[in-house]
Amino acid sequence: MIRDTPKHALETTERSLEILETIERLEGATVTELATECSLAPSTVYKHLVTLRSRGYLNERDGTYHVGFRFLNLGEHARRRIEGRQLIEETVRELTAETDEEVDFTVEDHGRVMTIMESYHKWVKYGDDGGAERYRARIGSYYRMHSTATGKAILASYPRERVEAIVDAWGLPARTERTITDRGELLEELGRIAERGYAVDDREYADGLRSVGVAVNGPDGGVVGAISVSGPSYRLHGEVLRTTIPDAVRDAVADLQRGLVDARSE
């Protein structure tokens, strides 16, 4: 089950991971802050911190601990192991050039989607005035599946019981007034996505932002991730949103899937 602690999990490891995740959430923390947040004795927290720091997983400055660069090393290792990574990267870049919009490739990880690859058009289109103008996907960022185009595209490819497990684990919190927060409504939307072959995030993750996402199947037929095209709603509307972008993403994904099959057979 998603987010369940395994029966034979080590309590010491669980505590170290909780401390790490708390440091990330607080964007840096002291021993005292971590002891309070994690309900642990300061001496216990300190022992975990010393161990993690000695292995490169934490950095410390003036008594405040931060996530270390060792995680970047491990994350890049995980990214390099994605089957067909170069083909996916090429597809993302080519789709950006074709649509003049942001393109992302995400994978599902324990009930959320994570951005693994991204490509931004050379135009400067994101300012600081809020909504879509402030949105840019970041590699390594997590997103709730029900509020994003790639997340919904992947969910639409899953069996009902897996969708239910993800909703049970993460809920359906609202990101904007347009986010789907009702389970029945989400299931109906996933049915429509499965029929038409693409998902739309219509200002559900961020105000003023629209995205079109399509799930990517691997050579074995299972879903390996999803690709989306995103842009401000003043550009992604009308025929562009109904036909131009969906057709471009579906064609790109179809070509990518054929390439993944051919690469496997070589």
179-224 pLDDT, tens digit per residue, is 999 999 999 999 999 999 999 999 999 999 999 999 999 999 999 9
Is there a single domain that holds both residue 24 and residue 47? yes
SS3 at position 211: strand
Q: Determine contact, residues 237/111, Cβ cutoff 8 Å.
A: no
Q: Two tokens at 53?
A: 């720091």
Is there a single domain that holds both residue 153 and residue 62? no
183-189's contacts with Cβ under 8 Å and 24+ in sequence apart are 186/146, 186/155, 187/160, 187/163, 189/152
Within 13 A of 119's CA, how many CA atoms are on the CB side?
A: 20
Angle value at C-alpha 131, between 127 and 134, nearest 5 degrees: 35
Count of structural domains within the chain:
2
Judged against a pLDDT cut of 70, whether residue 130 lies above it is answered with no
Is there a single domain that holds both residue 33 and residue 90? no
Is there a single domain that holds both residue 49 and residue 126? no
Question: Residue 25, Cβ neighbours under 10 Å: how many?
Answer: 9
Is there a single domain that holds both residue 139 and residue 36? no
Domain span at 205: 82-265
Residue 75 counted as domain residue: no
Is there a single domain that holds both residue 113 and residue 31? no
Q: Determine contact, residues 75/140, Cβ cutoff 8 Å.
A: yes
Judged against a pLDDT cut of 60, whether residue 123 lies above it is answered with no
The CATH number assigned to the domain holding 25 equals 1.10.10.10
- Choosing from 30, 46, 70, the residue where a domain stops is 70
Confidence of residue 2 (pLDDT cuts 50, 70, 90): very low
Is there a single domain that holds both residue 26 and residue 86? no
Q: Is the pTM of this model over 0.85?
A: no
Is there a single domain that holds both residue 186 and residue 58? no
Q: Determine contact, residues 256/214, Cβ cutoff 8 Å.
A: no
The CATH number assigned to the domain holding 237 equals 3.30.450.40
Q: State the pLDDT at residue 131.
A: 46
